[in-house]
Amino acid sequence: MKTTCHSEYGKLKSVFIKKPEAAFVSEQQVNNQWKELNFLSKPDFSKAIAEHVEFEKILSRSGASISYLPFDSKVTMDSMYCRDASIATDFGMIICNMGKAQRKNEPTAERLAFEKKEIKILGEIKSPGTLEGGDVAWIDSKTLAVGHTYRTNDSGISQLRNLLEPIGIEVIVASMPHYKGKADVFHLMSVLSPVDKDLAVVYSPLMPISFRNTLLERGFSFVEVPDSEWDSMGCNVLAMAPREVVMVKGNPITKHRLELVGCIVWEYEGNEISVKGGGGPTCLTRPIERFI
C-alpha cells in the first residue's frame, strides 16, 4: 500500500505521542505550571497517566508504529499536545514557530526527535512568523487548510505558502473569529476534524462562512457538533482510519451522529489530559504517515 503524510483520515502508519510522565513530569511541575499555561483547572497527575495509558491502547489498535517524544527540561506541560509544534508533509517536516510564548521551545525539541529518527526536515517557520500545527489540516493530498488565528499569523502563513506552493500544494486560509481572545487555545482544528475523504466533524457556529462553503463545494458532508458538546471537545476527533475515530468520552450526541454515517467510535476518559488543557486526541498526536 502507498503512504502519505498528506491525510487526516488514512489508516495510521506512524505517529508520535508524548506521555504525561515526560510532559507533566511530576506533581510539583503540574502545581507550578497549570495556571500560567491557562489550563481550566489543575490536572491530577496520576489520573492523567492512567487516562493516557487508555488512550494509547486505543491508538495501538490502528497497528501504527508509535514513537515517544522524550522529556525535555526546556518545554512545559503543553508539550504533551505534540501536534502543534510541527507539520508533516511528503517532502519532510515543517518545524513551527509557536504563537503561545510559553511553548517557544517545543519545535526545537521535536526537530531533535525527528532528526534522531532520520525524518527529513523540509523547513521551519521563523519569527516574526508564527504557526501552530493545530491550525493546519489536510483537505486532500494537494490542499492544506490553515487557520489565521491568534496562534498563526500572516507571516507564518506566507512562509508556509513559500514552502509548499512551489511543490504543488495549494494553501487555503480560514480566517478564524476572535472567540475568547488571545489567551484561549482556539485553532482551526478546534472546529474541524476530517474523518474521511468527504466527511468532517465540524462546529459550524465558529467556522468562517467562506471556508465552510469551500468544503461543501469540494464535496464534504458534515457531522455537526451541538452547542452542548462544544466545551467537552466533541469536535476534536482523531481518525485512525477512514471512519474509525477516537474521541473524548462525554459527547453522546456527536458519537451517535458519527455512528449514523458509518463510523466506528472509540472513546477514552480525557478529563485530565484533554479537557483541562484544551487538547483532544488530534492534539495529543503528531501523525506522520498514513496508508492510502
* 3-class DSSP assignment, residue 273: helix
Give Cβ neighbours of residue 245 (< 8 Å, ≥ 6 apart).
Answer: 193, 195, 201, 237, 238, 239, 258, 263, 264, 265, 266
For the segment 117-125, the average pLDDT, to the nearest whole number, is 98
Report whether the peptide linkage leading into residue 128 is cis, meaning its omega lies within 30 degrees of zero: yes
pTM over 0.75: yes
| DSSP count for the chain of H helices, then E strands | 7, 16
Nearest residue to 77 via CA among 272, 216, 227, 267: 272
Q: What stretch of H or E contains 212?
A: helix 209-217
Q: What are the start-end ranges of the E strands in the chain?
A: 3-4, 11-17, 65-68, 86-89, 92-95, 121-124, 136-140, 143-148, 170-175, 192-196, 199-202, 221-224, 238-241, 244-248, 264-268, 285-291
Q: Where do the domains of the chain lie, and which CATH numbers do they carry?
A: 3-291 (3.75.10.10)
Q: What letter represents residue 229's amino acid?
A: E
Q: For 166-224, write each residue's pLDDT tens digit.
A: 999 999 999 999 998 888 889 999 999 999 999 999 999 999 999 999 999 999 999 99
Q: What value does the mean pLDDT of the chain take?
A: 97
- Residue by residue, DSSP assigns 56-84 as HHHHHTTT-EEEEPPP-TTS-GGGGSGGG
Q: In Å, how far from its chain's centre is CA 211? A: 19
Q: How many CB atoms lie within 10 A of CB 212?
A: 18
Q: Is the dihedral of CA 216, 224, 185, 44 positive or negative?
A: negative
Q: Which residue has 487538547 as its cell numbers?
A: 279
Distance CA(50)–CA(148), nearest Å, equals 35
Q: For 3-55, write each residue's pLDDT tens digit.
A: 999 999 999 999 999 999 999 999 999 999 999 999 999 999 999 999 999 99
